[in-house]
Amino acid sequence: MKRTDLKIVSINIASPTHISLDGGPRKLRSGIFKLPVSQPVFLDYLGFAGDGVGDTRIHGGRDKAVCAYCVDHFPYWNETLQRKIVPGSFGENLSLAGMPETDVNIGDIFEIGTAQIQVSQPRQPCHKLNKVFNDQSMACSVKKSGFSGYYFRVLKPGLIERGALIKRIHEDGFSVEKANALLRKGGANIKHMQELISLPALSVDWREIFQKRLSKYQGL
């Protein structure tokens, strides 16, 4: 049964800056080191005020305005990594309670105060997580676990605050975990690929990925 006590545990933001992800001399422009904020933050169509991404080619934009991660997974990572996981550890803007990938669907719309957000795609962990966690297998571990997190687009801007309750006002049927599983298995299930591509809320990036795979498997 899906939980109804959905809430924001933490809002995490960071302005992109040139940083060393592994302590070495090479610096990359990144906004992955998000820090919790205590005051309400305005959420607009491209994300939270004061927040940003380092590489706009693969991060940010309207389809990926907000990155979210479920704190229900923190105990698993605490045990697996033997380290304390805190809000913002995965570079997420929203650390959420009660919203694992199995219970959240592509296209679901949530209301937080006066704002409305819609799930657009799963998060695809990149190499930066390996460096942040000092573990070259971290991105792969996240993919295998299915505990990926996901992105929201903003349908209606508004002021968001920590501790706010989240109300699901529209629910679809293709879960983030189902999309993750399809990606992990190489997208060999034509029926599921067609179903995923047909979702109006799916991000442009993920639609292109699976349109290419579908064409490959159909021999087009």
Considering its fold, how many domains does the chain have in total? 1
Note the pLDDT of residue 17: 82
Mean pLDDT of the chain: 91
With respect to residue 111, please indicate whether it lies within any of the assigned structural domains. Answer: yes
pLDDT band at 91 (very low <50, low <70, confident <90, very high): very high
Query: 88: domain CATH number?
Result: 2.40.33.20
Threshold 0.85, pTM exceeds = yes
Residue 56 or residue 50, greater confidence: 50
Distance of CA 217 to the CA centre of its chain: 28
With respect to residue 30, please indicate whether it lies within any of the assigned structural domains. Answer: yes
With respect to residue 151, please indicate whether it lies within any of the assigned structural domains. Answer: yes
DSSP states of 157-174: -EEE-TT-B-EEEE--S-
Q: Residues with Cβ < 8 Å from 56, sequence gap 6 or more?
A: none
- The whole domain housing 36 covers 7-171
Note the pLDDT of residue 41: 97
